[in-house]
A and B are shown apart, each in its own frame.
Chain A
């Protein structure tokens, strides 16, 4: 496996800021908790303001530290949360497969916000369809989601934070893509040096829908 979680503290090659966006209640906090702490709590309180977690990964021979920012989803908070967009190398936009409106809002609202406030033109964007464990309650198909992602030049992944489906994969895929984008790494290295990577050959991950 190319990606190995939790490398030793010693040396970090890159520190990458990742941002979680999406409507209230789509599962951003749960995704983060699953990814960073590998657990899931049904009883999670709404995120007020912003939350934050750090996770270290080894991707090929690079040690990467992710700082993942989990923002409040409610519209009223946007004036506040947009200040967090700055410097984000990876943007994960989350929708809930049981609520089609949350996918719509990605297009109508979140993408627009991102264009306005994002500072990294090349930031890697990923659409994540969360809560695929809902079964019959599902209202957005895989095709709709992946078409949407393709249209907007985003990676796409279907996940379930609850049942731990593909959560880590989604983050890893995002990281791989960021590492393949040299312009994003210019100021991300804690230690300078060459940041050129041997690009991993495509085909990593099952959810590779990048059309950037």
Chain B
């Protein structure tokens, strides 16, 4: 975070150290917080005292230490952004740091290769994006933003309202970092919104680069410094105004594992407050990867203005690239602004200002209504977050108790969906992974340190953390009890790393942080459960978890799923039998599903039977990957909320609901068309667009009792010659 050295656009090939200080705050969902990319990744650089605080804390949080001068000269012009970076605490930032936003922006514009950045521009940009900016200062600030932005070489748009987006930046590089955010936005009507100005955290050295305009989808754009230790990136996207900025903002603060100095105190006090518990998301890294990708792209395009950022959705899945800028009006408009800024600098200011004023002053009534609705939604969301936070307690500790005491209420809340910022934490607790983790401290690291993963090339091997000294006892115990998976299994896992969510920015980089984490989770699982080893499909489970938690947490949550340790009904068992030799669990599930379908959608079932389309042909991965292979992410998350709480029966319900919902469209189809429609690629087209609708339908289908009966039936069939009920499936002649 300090050096102002020139840095290259080229991402360091060694992925180990890239981190993002900034976060993006995709709307309601955004939540992530920075964390070390890798378990073993230790920040090597001693950080100057103040900058360690990169963070975004809820505005209400007031760190007590005074702002320290930022070491980086680039930061000198103190802008709100700068204020945010250093832990400036007071609600009213010191004068020099609170210059009008516009001034800050202009200054930033003046200082071109400056690193720092971004907060101001981002804040400014955020306002217009939101339509929340007041006409006056805010508009001006917004107008100035593009230049600043550009000058800084980064396009960071803070999710406008979503404070959430900010995460404590790269903890790895910045150990004690806590992100604190000072209110930045100064729009007349925005002053009070903490979120409006949340500054993306910032970055180190930025390379000058014009970022084409961030699109409605989260786009990240950042630079990574070359020195590994110091690299950090920030990314933010300008999503539509998110509903719960305030709450999210609170969530967004992150805990870092090794706080240092004053930052440590603040961090630790925050961390002990359940209100500030945050799940560990990985979107921060996602953002970094995204930006790396963009850099590459920008380079390839020779930095011409045509360079286009890769667009991803809020979960990091890459969206189809638009061929030209004709996406939509709003986008085009913003692009214009960016273009003007890139070419004419300050000269472009007036027209843009005018446009902004237009937009702000002549805000149609409809828009105002919409805003009111949004505010309502925000309040509801905030209330939900509060409830959930209370239910979870610190770190999810209170959840079990709550679940025991109010099972119905718990179920109802889960079915309504876990608020995304709390999802990682909630999943860990709900599934029982948390309990497992606590009862086996250090085991994950110990498993990873098992010898003989020779097959794994060096770059992969550094993913596993070396266990801390204190855990050496655990390690030796583990070494005695568990053995490393065979080279075959290791290779198998590695071969699938590139093939697990290859379209997600977090997992797409070869040997990037996402793949390393995935490898470590799967490898440790194979060591921990030799009977399972690695089976294709498990990778998708782990990958979904890794988008919300750290490797160790993901590992234990996965174990909980495999052994059914959570609140899953005893008789349903865990997912493990889906993966053991012969996959008995899977075959049983498919049999049960087929029979249930006859009861739930008899006409469709008859049609499928007649055409020979058995569940083996389309539903294998529904169970094997708990729908992660096929469902769109927003649907998947809701399914998983309920799946982790209630067990595999949710998968049956969802599968049945999907077919029931699409029955009308499927009935007229023949064999091939049926298979095509039900394939993993096409299935999303059959779903209700709103995840809530899918879940509501699914929860109306009663399966629990029948599942038990059907399992017994299947077991009897098995004794008479397994598979009788499955005749005809793959046996179709053509």
Q: Which residues of A contact B (CB under 8 A)?
A: 15-17, 24-25, 42-52, 54, 65, 67, 69, 72, 74, 76-77, 79-81, 83-87, 187-188
Are B734 and A49 touching (Cβ within 8 A)? no
User: Residues of B contacting A69 with CB < 8 Å?
Assistant: 730
A45 with B732: in contact, given A52-B675, A80-B586 (CB under 8 Å)? no
Other-chain residue from B495, B533, B625 in contact with A48 (beta carbon distance below 8 A): B625
User: Residues of B contacting A87 with CB < 8 Å?
Assistant: 731-734
**Complex formed: what's the CA distance from A54 to B679 in Å?**
13
Shortest beta-carbon distance from B203 to chain A in Å: 28
Interface SS of chain B? loop
A-contacting residues, B675-734, CB 8 Å? 675-676, 679-680, 723, 726, 729-734
A-contacting residues, B491-521, CB 8 Å? 492, 495-496, 498-503, 508
Are B581 and A76 touching (Cβ within 8 A)? yes
Q: Does B672 contact A (CB under 8 A)?
A: yes
Shortest beta-carbon distance from A58 to chain B in Å: 18
A44 with B587: in contact, given A52-B675, A83-B726, A87-B734 (CB under 8 Å)? no
Question: Can you name 16 A-B pairs with beta carbons within 8 Å?
Answer: A24-B495, A24-B496, A43-B499, A44-B499, A48-B537, A48-B540, A48-B621, A49-B617, A52-B675, A65-B734, A67-B734, A72-B536, A74-B492, A76-B583, A81-B730, A188-B734
User: Residues of A contacting B581 with CB < 8 Å?
Assistant: 76
A45 with B629: in contact, given A51-B679, A74-B535 (CB under 8 Å)? yes
Shortest beta-carbon distance from A167 to chain B in Å: 20
Q: Produce 1/0 per residue, B83-109, CB < 8 A to A.
A: 000000000000000000000000000
Are B508 and A43 touching (Cβ within 8 A)? yes
Are B616 and A25 touching (Cβ within 8 A)? no
Shortest beta-carbon distance from B495 to chain A in Å: 4
User: Residues of A contacting B680 with CB < 8 Å?
Assistant: 48, 51
User: Residues of A contacting B616 with CB < 8 Å?
Assistant: 49-50, 80, 83
- Tell me the total A-B contact number using a CB cutoff of 8 A: 102
Nearest A residue to B675 via CB reads A52
**Complex formed: what's the CA distance from A61 to B496 in Å?**
42
Q: Does B60 contact A (CB under 8 A)?
A: no
A52 with B495: in contact, given A46-B539, A80-B583, A87-B731 (CB under 8 Å)? no
**Complex formed: what's the CA distance from A81 to B620 in Å?**
11
**Complex formed: what's the CA distance from A50 to B729 in Å?**
12
A50 with B730: in contact, given A24-B492, A76-B583, A80-B620 (CB under 8 Å)? yes
User: Residues of A contacting B732 with CB < 8 Å?
Assistant: 86-87
User: Residues of B contacting A65 with CB < 8 Å?
Assistant: 734
A-contacting residues, B458-496, CB 8 Å? 492, 495-496
Are B499 and A45 touching (Cβ within 8 A)? yes
A-contacting residues, B528-554, CB 8 Å? 533, 535-537, 539-540
**Complex formed: what's the CA distance from A188 to B539 in Å?**
39
Q: Produce 1/0 per residue, B19-30, CB < 8 A to A.
A: 000000000000
User: Residues of A contacting B537 with CB < 8 Å?
Assistant: 48
User: Residues of B contacting A52 with CB < 8 Å?
Assistant: 617, 672, 675-676, 679
Considering residues A16, A25, A65, A69, which has the most beta carbons from chain B within 10 angstroms of its beta carbon?
A25
Are A74 and B733 touching (Cβ within 8 A)? no
Nearest A residue to B499 via CB reads A46
Other-chain residue from B495, B536, B618, B729 in contact with A77 (beta carbon distance below 8 A): B536
Shortest beta-carbon distance from A200 to chain B in Å: 23
Are A83 and B679 touching (Cβ within 8 A)? no
Nearest B residue to A72 via CB reads B536
Other-chain residue from B586, B620, B733 in contact with A17 (beta carbon distance below 8 A): B733
User: Residues of A contacting B498 with CB < 8 Å?
Assistant: 43
**Complex formed: what's the CA distance from A50 to B619 in Å?**
10
Nearest A residue to B723 via CB reads A83
Are A76 and B620 touching (Cβ within 8 A)? no
Are B496 and A46 touching (Cβ within 8 A)? yes
**Complex formed: what's the CA distance from A65 to B536 in Å?**
31
A45 with B501: in contact, given A52-B679, A80-B586, A83-B726 (CB under 8 Å)? yes
**Complex formed: what's the CA distance from A38 to B540 in Å?**
27
Are A79 and B583 touching (Cβ within 8 A)? yes
User: Residues of A contacting B726 with CB < 8 Å?
Assistant: 83
- The 7 A-B residue pairs whose C-beta atoms are closest, nearest first, are A49-B620, A43-B502, A83-B730, A84-B730, A87-B733, A48-B621, A86-B731
Nearest B residue to A15 via CB reads B734
15 other A-B residue contacts (CB within 8 Å) besides A17-B734, A25-B499, A74-B492: A15-B734, A17-B733, A43-B498, A45-B499, A46-B499, A46-B500, A46-B536, A48-B536, A49-B618, A49-B620, A50-B617, A52-B679, A76-B583, A79-B587, A80-B586
Shortest beta-carbon distance from A185 to chain B in Å: 12
User: Residues of A contacting B676 with CB < 8 Å?
Assistant: 52, 54
Residues of chain B at interface, number, CB under 8 A: 43
User: Residues of A contacting B499 with CB < 8 Å?
Assistant: 25, 43-46
Are B503 and A43 touching (Cβ within 8 A)? yes
Shortest beta-carbon distance from B314 to chain A in Å: 20
Are A80 and B587 touching (Cβ within 8 A)? yes
Are A16 and B734 touching (Cβ within 8 A)? yes
A-contacting residues, B224-238, CB 8 Å? none
Shortest beta-carbon distance from B581 to chain A in Å: 7
User: Residues of B contacting A43 with CB < 8 Å?
Assistant: 498-499, 502-503, 508
Are A74 and B679 touching (Cβ within 8 A)? no
User: Residues of A contacting B492 with CB < 8 Å?
Assistant: 24, 74
**Complex formed: what's the CA distance from A58 to B582 in Å?**
40
Are B620 and A48 touching (Cβ within 8 A)? yes
Are A48 and B679 touching (Cβ within 8 A)? no
User: Residues of B contacting A49 with CB < 8 Å?
Assistant: 616-618, 620-621, 624
Shortest beta-carbon distance from B174 to chain A in Å: 32
**Complex formed: what's the CA distance from A62 to B692 in Å?**
50
Are A83 and B729 touching (Cβ within 8 A)? yes
Considering residues B618, B723, B734, which has the most beta carbons from chain A within 10 angstroms of its beta carbon?
B734
Q: Does B53 contact A (CB under 8 A)?
A: no
Are B508 and A54 touching (Cβ within 8 A)? no
Q: Does B579 contact A (CB under 8 A)?
A: yes
Shortest beta-carbon distance from B469 to chain A in Å: 38
User: Residues of A contacting B620 with CB < 8 Å?
Assistant: 48-50, 80
**Complex formed: what's the CA distance from A74 to B492 in Å?**
9
Nearest A residue to B733 via CB reads A87
Q: Produce 1/0 per residue, B610-640, CB < 8 A to A.
A: 0000001110110011000100000000000
Shortest beta-carbon distance from A1 to chain B in Å: 25
Shortest beta-carbon distance from A211 to chain B in Å: 27
Nearest A residue to B620 via CB reads A49
A79 with B629: in contact, given A43-B503, A46-B539 (CB under 8 Å)? no
User: Residues of A contacting B675 with CB < 8 Å?
Assistant: 52
Are A83 and B731 touching (Cβ within 8 A)? yes
User: Residues of B contacting A25 with CB < 8 Å?
Assistant: 495-496, 499
Are B583 and A77 touching (Cβ within 8 A)? yes
Q: Produce 1/0 per residue, B433-460, CB < 8 A to A.
A: 0000000000000000000000000000
**Complex formed: what's the CA distance from A84 to B730 in Å?**
4
User: Residues of A contacting B500 with CB < 8 Å?
Assistant: 45-46
Are A74 and B536 touching (Cβ within 8 A)? yes
Shortest beta-carbon distance from B538 to chain A in Å: 10
**Complex formed: what's the CA distance from A77 to B579 in Å?**
9
**Complex formed: what's the CA distance from A32 to B345 in Å?**
52
Are B624 and A48 touching (Cβ within 8 A)? yes
Shortest beta-carbon distance from A3 to chain B in Å: 20
**Complex formed: what's the CA distance from A186 to B616 in Å?**
27
Shortest beta-carbon distance from B315 to chain A in Å: 16
Shortest beta-carbon distance from A117 to chain B in Å: 10
User: Residues of B contacting A76 with CB < 8 Å?
Assistant: 533, 535-536, 579, 581, 583
**Complex formed: what's the CA distance from A50 to B586 in Å?**
14
Shortest beta-carbon distance from B152 to chain A in Å: 32
Other-chain residue from B502, B579, B582 in contact with A79 (beta carbon distance below 8 A): B582
User: Residues of B contacting A46 with CB < 8 Å?
Assistant: 496, 499-500, 536, 539
Shortest beta-carbon distance from B548 to chain A in Å: 20
**Complex formed: what's the CA distance from A87 to B732 in Å?**
7
Shortest beta-carbon distance from A162 to chain B in Å: 14
